[in-house]
Homo-oligomer: A and B are copies of this chain.
């Protein structure tokens, strides 16, 4: 029997404590989280989802913070999920984000949550996306997802945004190179933060040169120069997001984007579930038994995989 989440009506009314509990439930995969997520999903689809990503130290938190303040000034409610794929033994970033975020945390219209991976990286992006659903269902007008880096889990999270902003700084030489690995594909536009520093023009040129290789038939990406710590250029980011949102509203683009995203999510859920179903006690011990032969090179990983699948489909 699925347990029920106690505060679901409070959650839908936007109650802070209920939001906080719901995200904890998702994060901890508590017994009631499955039923909760199903109910939450039915209330999603209203929030606009903004992804902010880039290398550590680029100023993503500051930008998320200042954007939130700007939107608050327009009377909108905001949720922020800050994802930090930190490894277990260096988990200092959690507190760091919270401290940096304190400007907006005091405002009741902004809900901020940091999520760090404790242990495996794998589940974090799934949980972060579910936390965004919770904020959407709680009535937030805008949900900002802030993620570090260029790994697969960051790409997954960025893929869950309606508009994705990639933040770089003049010193991001390494990061501009790393963009080849995926950031370039996901960026709807770039922000060069700390643009008052030396090397800003060169960085903008590097990004524009890489952009010139990208096919952009309908939406043209761009690089905005900002100095987030002084609040300079935040309005230009908001304006660019508005333009991109308007672009997505045409020709059903947003609907198509969300549909693809939900299909991806179902495929991921299927893969996760199959993995759990597959590796039950029977097949785990079958693998264990076969490993002796693999280690003696008398069978191969390919043959063992085939045998295990045969077992799964005929049992």
CB within 8 Å of B: which residues of A? 34, 37-38, 41-45, 55-57, 85-87, 89-90, 93, 121, 148-153, 171-175, 177-178, 180-182, 184-185, 210, 213-215, 255, 258-259, 262-263, 265-267, 269-271, 273-275, 277-279, 287, 291, 294-295, 297, 300-306, 308-309, 312-313
Say whether B308 contacts A266, CB under 8 Å: yes
Q: In the assembly, how many copies of this chain are there?
A: 2
Answer whether A37 and B300 are a contact pair too, CB < 8 Å, given A57-B174, A85-B181, A180-B86: yes
Q: Write the nearest CB–CB distance from A263 to chain B, whole angstroms.
A: 6
Answer whether A287 and B263 are a contact pair too, CB < 8 Å, given A181-B121, A184-B90, A213-B89: yes
Question: Which residues of B have CB within 8 Å of A177?
Answer: 56-57
Q: Write the nearest CB–CB distance from A26 to chain B, whole angstroms.
A: 12
Q: List 27 A-B contacts (CB under 8 A).
A: A44-B297, A45-B297, A55-B174, A55-B178, A57-B173, A57-B174, A87-B180, A87-B182, A89-B184, A89-B213, A121-B152, A121-B182, A148-B178, A151-B151, A152-B153, A174-B174, A174-B175, A259-B291, A262-B295, A262-B301, A266-B305, A267-B279, A269-B302, A270-B278, A274-B278, A274-B309, A274-B312
Answer whether A273 and B309 are a contact pair too, CB < 8 Å, given A149-B181, A152-B121: yes
Q: Chain B: which residue is nearest A169 at the CB level? A: B174
Distance of A45 Cα from B295 Cα, bound (Å): 9
Say whether B266 contacts A181, CB under 8 Å: no
Say whether B86 contacts A38, CB under 8 Å: no
Say whether A259 contacts B121, CB under 8 Å: no
Given A56-B174, A270-B309, 14 extra CB contacts under 8 A: A38-B302, A57-B174, A57-B177, A86-B180, A87-B181, A121-B152, A121-B182, A150-B150, A259-B295, A262-B301, A266-B308, A269-B305, A273-B305, A273-B309
Distance of A303 Cα from B313 Cα, bound (Å): 22
